Amino acid sequence: MLDKIFTWWSGWTVGALFDVKRRSDFVGEDDYGNRYFQDRKPSYEGRYRRYVLYKGIAEPSKVPADWHGWLHYTFDEPPTEKPFERKPFETDHTPNLTGTLYAYRPKGSLARDGARRESDSDYEAWSPDA
């Protein structure tokens, strides 16, 4: 419970939940469990502010393309009202895993096992005894 009061990186804080629920309407939820909201009143620019409350760690790359377009006012209707038209070559969205336990670690990476096989182009230091 204390993490909900003091930390924002592990999910929603109590203050954020209260503020968003007080002045925003729920619009929809994506496959990752992220929830999307829109303000009830327009801002001074005349647009309705849009929010995403992430499920789990606050990682913006977890927002799929259709919801990203809605958040950035590319689409007027959210994907719940007008689904995103996908092209045949498009693949499913995958979040950026850099900096996580699931990040790609090539052979020889210190984060993996630190060992790589020798190469013909490896550097050999000069030694006067040679």
Query: For the chain, what is the domain count?
Result: 1
pLDDT in tens, the chain (130 residues): 555 556 655 566 777 778 888 899 999 999 889 999 999 998 888 899 999 988 887 778 888 888 999 999 998 899 989 888 888 888 877 778 888 888 888 877 777 776 667 776 677 788 888 6
In a domain, 130, yes or no: no
Helices (H), the chain: 2-6, 14-23, 65-71
Cα R_g (the chain), whole angstroms = 23
The CA distance from 72 to 11, in Å, is 22
Tell me if the pTM is above 0.75. Answer: no
pLDDT of residue 124: 77
CB 25 within 8 A of CB 80: no
Q: Which residues contact 15 (CB under 8 A, 6 or more apart)?
A: none
Is 122 a member of any domain?
no
Q: Does residue 124 form part of some domain?
A: no
Residue 88 lies inside a defined structural domain of this protein: yes
105 lies in which domain range? 1-113
Residues 6+ apart with CB under 8 A from 110: none
Helices (H) and strands (E) in the chain, counts: 3, 3
